[in-house]
Chains A and B, each alone.
Chain A
Amino acid sequence: MTVQDSVTRLQERFANAILKAGEFRGENSLTIKIEALHDLAAFCRDELGFDYLLDISSLDHFGEDPRFEMIYELYSMADGVHLRLKAVVPGEDNPVAPTISDLWPTADWHEREVYDMMGIRFDGHPDLRRILMWEGYPFFPLRKDFPLEGKVSDVPDVAFTEVAPLAGGPFVTIPTDGITEVREPRARRAGDPLSTDKFLAES
């Protein structure tokens, strides 16, 4: 089954839930309502042959309402086709999305990562703990309003953090064929010219 056939069948079956169907450079994306996510994902898995959940990611549209968006990448091993599902998550302070970890077990850890980094909770998830940061860490570091250098957190008996010294910019490399000294990550601000002769930390 081609991805166009899948999209057509989904549009017939979930006419009310699909808000937008788009294609860009051969990649098909469906924007859907979050309430229909679980039923639609189950249909994709059982009827359309999308047996592999490639990835789950999330977006933070900081300043917009609704703020958060979930993205699911589906893949069919048999047909070799790829389908992307996108759904905005309501609630800025306490965003909650339905879990799909009962459909694809791999979603378990992906959803834990989204919860850890972005703070989106998953309704029905069997074990919603942080996966990268430690239990008790009070922030969600990939949100747009969280600074790169971090915030001070002092949780007794768990762990402390301090603000990292950024020396004027994030530490990034630039594409170059120069020597080690040039290749090293240096503090640079966004929009700085890609010059190799001057570094912020030294200016």
Chain B
Amino acid sequence: MSQPSPVAYDSKIEGNVIFTRVDAAINWMRSNSLWPMPMGLACCAIELMAASSSRYDISRFGAEVMRFSPRQSDVMIVAGTVTYKMALAVKRIWDQMPEPKWCIAMGACASSGGMYRSYAVLQGIDHLLPVDVYISGCPPRPEALLDGFMKLQKKIMGEHSLEDQKRSLVDTL
């Protein structure tokens, strides 16, 4: 048996009605319009900028709208070394982002502290925030960031969005 398509299409009423599951529709919309919060803290931020430039073109994945306001963002890309002093600001900005939200730890420093085994550096942003995708590299190339982005999109497509976000509504139905 073949995998059922997330969207069923009736040719008799073509263009007006499509059948799908609510989760599939919500996830499809969310995953193709992820607005990033660029938390650029070190050299990884340069690669993050390259990923949004014409050569790599992150807008192919619906993520070209870098929002410098956390209130308009969906995914925080932590790109760079997180010192303990900066960690407070990162956490505060993360708390200001509305649900649903995701986090990408870009590069060795954000994932694990990297080469900075020192008193001043947080040993991985996952001590502070829930991370969805880790990207290796020091710094990772833009292709690696795009690959991580596609992994995140795939992850979002598997979420139970309606159940997670609107539990009380689901209970009343």
Task: Other than A147-B119, A148-B118, give 14 A-B pairs with Cβ distance below 8 A.
Answer: A133-B84, A141-B119, A148-B119, A149-B118, A149-B119, A150-B118, A159-B85, A159-B87, A161-B84, A164-B113, A164-B117, A164-B119, A165-B117, A171-B115
Chain B: minimal CB distance from A177 (Å): 18
A184 is an interface residue with CB less than 8 A from chain B: yes
**What is the 8 Å Cβ interface bit string for chain A, positions 159-186, against chain B (1 contact, 0 not)?**
1111011110011000000000000110
Of the residues B85, B115, B138, contact of A133 by C-beta under 8 Å: B85
A104 is an interface residue with CB less than 8 A from chain B: no
Interface residues of A, Cβ cutoff 8 Å to B: 132-134, 139, 141, 146-151, 159-162, 164-167, 170-171, 184-185, 187
Chain B: minimal CB distance from A172 (Å): 9
Majority secondary structure, B binding face: loop
In the complex the two chains form, what is the Cα distance from A1 to B118 in whole Å? 46
Query: Contact between B88 and A149 (Cβ–Cβ < 8 Å)?
Result: no
Query: Contact between A159 and B120 (Cβ–Cβ < 8 Å)?
Result: no
Query: Contact between A159 and B84 (Cβ–Cβ < 8 Å)?
Result: yes
In the complex the two chains form, what is the Cα distance from A184 to B136 in whole Å? 13
Query: 23 interchain pairs (CB within 8 A)?
Result: A133-B84, A133-B120, A134-B84, A134-B85, A134-B88, A139-B119, A141-B119, A146-B119, A147-B119, A149-B118, A149-B119, A150-B119, A150-B120, A159-B88, A161-B84, A161-B119, A162-B123, A164-B116, A164-B118, A164-B119, A164-B121, A166-B117, A187-B117
Number of B residues with CB within 8 Å of any CB on chain A: 15
In the complex the two chains form, what is the Cα distance from A166 to B123 in whole Å? 11
In the complex the two chains form, what is the Cα distance from A166 to B85 in whole Å? 21
Give the A-B pair count, Cβ closer than 8 A. 51
Closest 9 A/B residue pairs (Cβ): A150-B119, A185-B115, A164-B117, A171-B115, A134-B85, A166-B117, A159-B84, A171-B117, A141-B119
Query: Contact between B84 and A164 (Cβ–Cβ < 8 Å)?
Result: no
Of the residues B88, B120, B123, contact of A141 by C-beta under 8 Å: B120
Query: Contact between A170 and B85 (Cβ–Cβ < 8 Å)?
Result: no
Chain A: minimal CB distance from B73 (Å): 24
Of the residues B88, B115, B123, B127, contact of A165 by C-beta under 8 Å: B123
Residues 121-169 of B contacting A (Cβ, < 8 Å): 121, 123, 127, 138
In the complex the two chains form, what is the Cα distance from A132 to B83 in whole Å? 10
Query: Contact between A151 and B117 (Cβ–Cβ < 8 Å)?
Result: no
B119 cross-chain contacts in A, Cβ below 8 A: 139, 141, 146-151, 161, 164
* Chain B residue at minimum C-beta to C-beta distance from A180: B138
Residues 75-90 of B contacting A (Cβ, < 8 Å): 84-85, 87-88
Query: Contact between A184 and B138 (Cβ–Cβ < 8 Å)?
Result: yes
Q: Which of A141, A146, A149, A159 has the most CB of B within 10 A?
A: A159
In the complex the two chains form, what is the Cα distance from A134 to B122 in whole Å? 14
Chain B: minimal CB distance from A145 (Å): 13
* Chain B residue at minimum C-beta to C-beta distance from A134: B85
Query: Contact between B118 and A132 (Cβ–Cβ < 8 Å)?
Result: no
